[in-house]
């Protein structure tokens, strides 16, 4: 397992669709229906900006990128494997 962040940025007009996708993923996390090995650990919306940072645990950063491609959110996004310091 690795820790991964996904930075999402979207156009203002796509905000409603982005929130639908995020809400669906959060519901899957709550219900335990995400694919095995994946866990959404947090979502931070940046105030006043069309940007969010999502914290994940995944089998690998490439497997999370593959899952993201299937979901295809209306965002420009970057997937980065991270190390927890604190």
| Per-residue pLDDT tens digits for 24-48 | 999 999 999 999 999 999 999 999 9
Residue 86 confidence (pLDDT): 81
Domain count, the chain: 1
pLDDT band for 85, please (50, 70, 90 cuts). confident
What b/e string do you get for 61-72 counting C-beta neighbours within 10 Å, with b at 16 or more? beebeebbeeee
Domain that holds residue 76: 2-82
Is residue 66 predicted with pLDDT exceeding 90?
yes
Residue 15: DSSP 8-state: H
Please report, rounded to a whole number, the percentage of residues in the chain having pLDDT higher than 90.
97
Other residues' Cβ atoms within 10 Å of the Cβ of residue 85: 4
Instruction: Please enumerate in sequence order all residues whose Cβ is within 8 A of that of 63, keeping only pairs 6 or more positions apart, or say none.
Output: 37, 38
> Which pTM was predicted?
0.91
- Which pLDDT tens digit goes with each residue over 6-29? 999 999 999 999 999 999 999 999
* CATH number of residue 70's parent domain: 3.30.70.100
């Amino acid at each position: 397992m690795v820790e991964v962040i996904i930075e999402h940025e979207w156009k203002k007009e796509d905000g409603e669709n982005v929130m639908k996708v995020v809400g669906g993923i959060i519901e899957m996390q709550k219900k335990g229906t995400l694919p095995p090995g994946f866990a959404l650990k947090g979502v931070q919306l940046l105030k006043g900006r069309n940007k969010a940072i999502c914290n994940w645990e995944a089998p690998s950063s490439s497997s999370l990128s593959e899952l993201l491609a299937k979901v295809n959110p209306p965002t420009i996004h970057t997937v980065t494997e991270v190390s927890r310091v604190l």
